[in-house]
Chains A and B, each alone.
Chain A
Amino acid sequence: MAFYLIVILAMAWLVGYPVAVKSEPRAAPADPCALVPADLVALLVPAPGKPEPEVRNNQPFTNRAECAIRTDHDAATTNASASLRIEVERNGSRGTESSSSHSQTDFANGKRYEMQDSIVQHRVNDLRGIGDSAYLTVDVPRSSGSGSAAAQVTVLRGDIIATVMYSASPSSDEQVAAAAVRVARELVKAVR
């Protein structure tokens, strides 16, 4: 009887133990800003300067790409200015975690941090219909009187974590949130 019991437990252990298959992260896009339609960039960033993409591929666990488009104040014709910054992370497996588990864990940790950060307080809200999960972050209280506003949208989709940071002046929380969400939707649609 004892023999059979040991065999059953051993099988249960083997079934329960995840097979640690090493999976390299997929390549991050060379320029995430190029994935946003040009007409949308033109709408959001007046007198856009040259994008500054930076990509780090061939990493063991996470490949990253980031870019920023900012108003070129020397070329601006009005006092409207904005900054659009995009980060895309593609995760591979990590230990016994699969690529998507790795991404979900990092996404969850990041969101938990945003919700609990007591130094810079944020208003964090879930967003429906973008990726597998997404949330919007707005500073609370934002600097009043300056006329500027900033919002961040973070999206989880499979092995991808995409972050869109958008700030604009003169603008409002509602306007920058709508802009960041729109960029996030376009980005998630475009990243393959």
Chain B
Amino acid sequence: MKSRVSVGVMLVLLGVVSVLFVAGALVPWYYSRPRAIPDAPATAVPELTAAPFGSTAPVVHPSAHRTPSGTPLAGAVFAPSDEVREMRLDGVPITFVTPRSWGCLSATVDIRATAWRCIDEQAGSGRPQVDIIVRQCAAACTAAERAEVDGELTVAPAYTVRDPATGIAERTADGKYTLTLNRVFSTNWVLVVQAEARSQPGDKAVVQKIVNDMYVQTA
């Protein structure tokens, strides 16, 4: 009877030991096996046959700002002591300067051209502004192409021709000073700028300074 109990205990112990051995064999296998890679829906990607871009357009890099020299177009010019900031606008091939309080916003016109409006951001209503339209012509810009850009202006200009590439118009009406420049540069670019100043006495000089600087940059 005693011997049968001992055999029973032995068998139970053997069973426990066996389970431990099996578990001991499985644990390292469990931790060393590579994780299964989850499945995702398969896809067939077409071969690359061309550059992976939609329709692109040429970009215009503004030229570096040049220090003004020579005779100004009209009125005041920036003095070395003036605090200015350089404006490098997308699509405008020149860098020009404005007072530090000015900023520019992209605008739209009905013709194929790039347009911006720059304003004194710290001035209130009646603040001075400068509208800029630039257009790249297919070849040398024609009078018709220049006139088409003029058609986008708020105030129709009556130009005085300074030289074959430059027209300037100054007008004061109802307390508003308007200075307009139409200029061909680099043969196939036309720049049209219309600056307006109406309220503050110093605004007229400020817009003249900006337009004069743009004139120099397109020389």
A58 at the interface (CB under 8 A from B): no
Partner pick for B48 among A17, A77, A115, A178, CB 8 A cutoff = A178
- A128/B42 in contact, CB under 8 A: yes
A28-36, A48-56, A61-69, A164-172: which lies at the interface: A164-172
**Chain B hits for A176, CB < 8 A:** 52
Given contact pairs A95-B31, A176-B52, A178-B52, A125 touches B41 in the complex (Cβ within 8 A): yes
Find out whether the CB atom of B57 lies under 8 angstroms from the CB atom of A109. Answer: no
**Which residues in window 8-24 of B have CB below 8 A to A?**
10, 14, 17-18, 21-22, 24
Q: Which single residue of chain B is at the shortest CB-CB distance from A97? A: B32
Known contacts: A126-B41, A168-B53. The answer to whether A12 contacts B34 by CB under 8 A is no
B42-61 at interface with A (beta carbon < 8 Å) = 42-48, 50-59, 61
Residues on A with C-beta less than 8 A from B10 are 2
Say whether, besides A108-B35, A182-B47, A175 and B53 are in contact (CB < 8 Å): yes
Instruction: Give Cα A124 to B29, complex, Å.
Output: 30
Given contacts A16-B28, A96-B28, A136-B45, contact A147 B40 (CB under 8 A): no
Structural contact, A5 and B52, CB atoms closer than 8 A: no
Chain B count of residues within 8 A CB distance of the other chain: 40
Is A111 in contact with chain B by the CB < 8 A criterion? yes
How far is A15 from B24 in the complex, measured between Cα atoms in Å? 12
A127 touching B28 by the CB < 8 A rule? no
B37 at the interface (CB under 8 A from A): yes
Smallest CB separation, B25 vs chain A (Å): 4
Q: Which A residues touch B61, using CB under 8 A?
A: 74
Interface size on A, residues (CB 8 A): 59
Docked CA distance A93–B153 (Å) = 72
Task: Tell me how far the C-beta of B11 lies from the nearest C-beta in chain A, rounded to whole angstroms.
Answer: 8
Instruction: Tally the A-B contacts, defined by beta carbons under 8 Å.
Output: 134
Give Cα A15 to B57, complex, Å. 67
Known: A105-B34, A178-B47. A16 touches B54 (CB 8 A): no
A8 to chain B, nearest CB (A): 9
The answer to the question of B36 belonging to the interface, with a C-beta cut-off of 8 Å to chain A, is: yes
> A64 to nearest B CB, angstroms?
20
Cβ-defined contact, B25 with A175, below 8 A: no
Q: Which residue of chain B is the closest to A100 with respect to CB atoms? A: B34
Instruction: Produce 1/0 per residue, B173-187, CB < 8 A to A.
Output: 000000000000000
Q: Which 7 A-B pairs rank lowest in CB-CB distance, beginning with the nearest?
A: A175-B52, A96-B32, A125-B43, A16-B25, A170-B54, A104-B34, A101-B34
The chain B residues found within 8 Å of chain A, CB to CB, are 10, 14, 17-18, 21-22, 24-26, 28-29, 31-48, 50-59, 61
- 16 residue pairs from A and B, CB less than 8 Å apart: A2-B10, A9-B17, A18-B28, A44-B52, A77-B58, A77-B59, A79-B59, A80-B51, A100-B34, A108-B37, A108-B38, A126-B40, A147-B54, A170-B55, A178-B47, A182-B47
